[in-house]
Amino acid sequence: MILLYKYVFIHLINQTLLVKANLPKTLRSANCLEFFNMSTDTTLDIDLNTNPMHKQSEIPNVEFEKESVGERKSSMKDKPVQFLIQQLNQMKSENKKLKELQNIVYGNYNDLMQKYSGDELMKTRKRKAPYTENYDNFVEKNGNSTCSCCVEGSNGTPNEIFSNVSKVYVRMDPSDMSPVVKDGYHWRKYGQKVTRDNPSPRAYYKCSFAPTCPVKKKVQRSVSDPSLLVATYEGRHNHKSPSEDEVSIELSTAATEITSSSSISKSMVEQMASTITRNPSFTAALAAAVIERILDHEKEEN
DNA sequence: CGAATTTGACCGGCGC
DNA sequence: GCGCCGGTCAAATTCG
């Protein structure tokens, strides 16, 4: 089961976690998935609606690395010095790549800061205004997929220490104008308001696990782009996403079938990954899981 | 018939 | 103190 998860998830999340793990602490505090939506480097792209199997080289790499470890061990007996040199060179090249990635992320981060730290953010509303709503341009700039999202901390400043407020931007199908963000959780609508700065009504939802789960969300169409939904989440779920459970059951069933017949073949894993990633519930659950994972990581650090 | 949604009323924070 | 505004409540309505 763990192996299956690994195969299916590894090429989706691997780059994300790699970049996240190598970010400087100040950058990690930014806690923005927007870094992974940046278009300057495809390795940073975490387009959840893209079939991940186009990066097929990822899965064979896992197996290759296992084999090469064995080869390394045998060669280590024969030529330990050469082996160490080879290892050193390999690490150097990896460091170089990581440094390049880091520079790209730094550049994107600075661009974002320049773009949104100016007067636009300062002319906020007279009320509490815990967050800004001026990220539309960002999503428009980067929203080349059908679902673009980013998460920001409170106060609208990406470098703010994380709190329990996050925003998600979702580009909707133009044919589907219902103000619903499918994020894998079940919500109960408890109110709707037309706000002053946006003719589209804002819908208020509570997690249907309430009062056990304190999470609320607000959903409203973007002023500049009606096809864009802005979902503001407050609080953190204290339970698993129902979609995660569904996916877990699907994977468990598939794993039972596979292991009962033969060893796991690459094509079967690919087929399975392709099937479940076409499932909107899976992509939503994956997005929620990735965000949750990063937020947990952030919480541990703080 | 129960659950979910709608919608007008109400509440509290904030600026003037 | 008053009015504006965002957020919440709860009765009425709709839906499956």
Structure tokens at A117: 């730290």
**Which of A293, A285, A254 minimizes the C-alpha distance to A270?**
A254
Q: How many CB atoms are located within 10 Å of the residue A92 CB?
A: 10
Burial label, A40 (beta-carbon count in 10 A; 0-12, 13-18, 19+): exposed
Please state, in angstroms and as integers, the Cα–Cα distance from residue A61 to each residue in A10, A234, A262, A276, following that order.
11, 39, 22, 22
Q: Regarding predicted confidence, which is higher, A87 or A18?
A: A87
CB-strand contact A208/B, under 7 Å: yes
Highest mean pLDDT of the ranges A4-8, A46-50, A91-95 = A91-95
Amino acid at A267: S
User: Which residue would you say has higher pLDDT here, A301 or A226?
Assistant: A226
Q: Which of the residue ranges A8-12, A138-142, A277-281 has the most confident prediction, judged by mean pLDDT?
A: A277-281
Query: How far does the CA of A13 sit from the C1' of B12, in Å?
Result: 44
Which band of pLDDT confidence, cut at 50, 70 and 90, is reported for residue A202?
very high
Cβ < 7 Å from strand B, A residues 107-126:
126
Q: Is the pLDDT of residue A97 over 90?
A: no
Q: What is the pLDDT of residue A204?
A: 93
Most confident option among A19-33, A52-66, A234-248: A234-248
CB of A182 nearer than 7 A to strand B: no
**pLDDT at site A180:** 65
C-beta neighbour count of A254 within 10 angstroms: 19
Query: Which pLDDT belongs to residue A177?
Result: 54
Residue nearest to nucleotide B15 (CA to C1'): A126
A137 is near strand B: CB distance < 7 Å: no
Q: What is the pLDDT of residue A233?
A: 87
Give the per-residue pLDDT at A215.
86
Phi and psi torsions of A135, nearest 5°: -95, 5
Q: Specify the pTM.
A: 0.47
Residue nearest to nucleotide B3 (CA to C1'): A188
- What percent of chain A is predicted at pLDDT more than 90? 3
How far, in Å, is the CA of A272 from the C1' of nucleotide B10? Answer: 52
Residue with the bigger pLDDT between A58 and A242: it is A242
Radius of gyration (Cα) for chain A, nearest Å?
Answer: 22
pLDDT band for position A11 (cuts 50, 70, 90): very low
Res A192: pLDDT: 92
